[in-house]
Amino acid sequence: MRQRLIIKVCGMSEGENIRAVEQLGIDWIGFIFYPKSPRCLCGLPSYLPLRAKRVGVFVNETKENVTMYADRFGLHYIQLHGTESPDYCQALLNKGLRLIKTFAIFHPKDLERTSHYTGLCDYYLFDSKTREYGGSGKQFDWNLLHRYAGNTPFLLSGGLNLYSAPAIRAFQHPRLAGIDLNSRFETAPGIKDVERIRAFHSKLRGSDE
Domain assignment present for residue 177? The answer is yes
The whole-angstrom separation of Cα 181 and Cα 157 is: 7
The catalytic position among 89, 121, 127, 180 is: 127
Average pLDDT over residues 182-208: 90
How high is the pLDDT of residue 132?
A: 58
Q: What's the half-sphere exposure (Cβ side, CA atoms, 13 Å) at 13?
A: 18
Domain assignment present for residue 14? The answer is yes
The number of domains in the chain is 1
At residue 134, does pLDDT exceed 80?
Answer: no
137 close to 159: Cβ distance less than 8 angstroms? yes
Among 26, 115, 102, smallest CA distance to 58 is for 102
Burial (0-12, 13-18, 19+ Cβ within 10 Å), 163:
exposed
In the predicted model, what is the mean pLDDT of the chain?
93
Among 105, 193, 202, smallest CA distance to 155 is for 105
How high is the pLDDT of residue 129?
A: 73
78 close to 66: Cβ distance less than 8 angstroms? yes
Among 145, 155, 157, smallest CA distance to 177 is for 155
Domain assignment present for residue 22? The answer is yes
Tell me the CA distances in angstroms from 129 to 23, 46, 200, one per residue in order.
32, 33, 24
> Is 10 labeled as catalytic in the residue annotation?
yes
> Is 89 labeled as catalytic in the residue annotation?
no
Count of residues in the chain: 209
Q: Higher pLDDT residue, 124 or 133? A: 124
pLDDT digits (tens, 9 = 90+) for 16-65: 999 999 999 999 999 999 999 999 998 999 999 999 999 999 999 999 99
Domain assignment present for residue 1? The answer is no
pLDDT digits (tens, 9 = 90+) for 139-179: 889 999 999 999 999 999 988 999 999 999 999 999 999 99
Tell me the CA distances in angstroms from 25 to 8, 53, 77, 134, 179, one per residue in order.
10, 11, 18, 25, 14
Domain assignment present for residue 129? The answer is yes
Q: What is the CATH number of the domain that holds 51?
A: 3.20.20.70
Q: Give the residue numbers spanning the domain of 20.
A: 6-208
